[in-house]
């Protein structure tokens, strides 16, 4: 039975949030970095240690994100609406890499707020760069565009006639955060 991309992401999220009593880093950074760059594959014992230790798995993910940020390879992050459409505003939506949160504020007019996680390995470089970012739905419509303020946030009016949950559900329940200089889709 093959795993779908969603199954792999859900399994990774479960592993990241799982805690184990007495857990400790079972593999040092040199071993994890060598596995990431492909210069030395993990042995069967090292793979078993990685699977048994949520702390080590989180460290591997952190190193992978830091490498990507240092290489300037961040080209965007994706996320999805994970709740059934109840008509209410969705809670904070989080990208699959955990770097971004998308909030919706109900009022006389809907507002959309993009928030960079300050603990993300991407945060220092993105805050320093002052690069314009955009949030797009799965259909390619721009939902928000701007630069991050000093708190790592960008906000604006919700551009669609439908409420956020309805619109996102209709457009495939996916969204992306990307540099505004990325190829225009609309």
Q: If you search the block for the tokens 């955990």, which residue do you land on? A: 98
pLDDT at 57: 85
Given a cut of 60, is residue 100 above it in pLDDT? Answer: yes
Q: What is the mean pLDDT of residues 142-149?
A: 94
Highest mean pLDDT among 74-78, 89-93, 114-118: 114-118
Look at residue 152 in the predicted model and tell me its pLDDT. 92
Instruction: Please report the pLDDT score of residue 96 as a whole number.
Output: 87
SS3 category, 149: coil
Percentage of the chain surpassing pLDDT 90?
Answer: 30
Q: What average pLDDT does the chain have?
A: 83
Question: How far apart (Å, rounded) are the C-alpha atoms in residues 127 and 151?
Answer: 9
Phi, psi (deg, nearest 5) at residue 11: -65, -40
Q: How confident is the model at residue 46 (pLDDT cuts 50, 70, 90)?
A: very high
Residue of 72, 70, 46, 71 lying closest to 60 (CA atoms): 46
- pLDDT level of residue 52 (50, 70, 90 thresholds): confident
10 and 37 in contact (C-beta within 8 Å)?
Answer: no
Q: Is the pLDDT of residue 1 over 50?
A: no
Residue 96 class from Cβ within 10 Å (0-12 exposed, 13-18 middle, 19+ buried)?
middle
pLDDT in tens, 2-28: 567 676 676 666 666 667 788 888 999
pLDDT at 36: 83
Return the pLDDT at 186.
39
Q: How confident is the model at residue 111 (pLDDT cuts 50, 70, 90)?
A: very high
* Parallel/antiparallel/unpaired status of strands 153-157 and 111-116: antiparallel
Core vs surface per residue 103-136: b (16+ CB within 10 A) or e: bbeeeeebbbebbbbeebbbbeebbeeeeebbbb
Contacts of 49 (CB under 8 A, 6+ apart): 26, 27, 56
């Amino acid at each position: 039975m093959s795993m779908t991309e969603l199954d792999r992401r859900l399994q990774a999220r479960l592993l990241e949030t799982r805690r184990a009593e007495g857990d400790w880093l079972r593999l040092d950074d040199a071993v994890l970095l060598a596995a990431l760059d492909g210069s030395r594959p993990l042995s069967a014992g090292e793979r078993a240690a990685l699977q048994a230790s949520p702390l080590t798995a989180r460290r591997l993910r952190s190193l992978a994100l830091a490498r990507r940020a240092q290489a300037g390879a961040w080209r965007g992050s994706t996320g999805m609406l994970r709740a059934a459409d109840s008509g209410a505003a969705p809670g904070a939506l989080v990208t699959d890499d955990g770097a971004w949160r998308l909030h919706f504020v109900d009022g006389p007019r809907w507002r959309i707020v993009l928030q960079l996680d300050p603990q993300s390995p991407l945060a220092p470089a993105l805050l320093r760069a002052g690069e314009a970012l955009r949030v797009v739905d799965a259909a390619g419509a721009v939902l928000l565009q701007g630069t991050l303020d000093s708190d790592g946030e960008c906000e604006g009016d919700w551009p669609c006639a439908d409420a956020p949950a309805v619109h996102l559900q209709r457009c495939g329940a996916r969204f992306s955060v990307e540099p505004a200089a990325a190829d225009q889709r609309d």
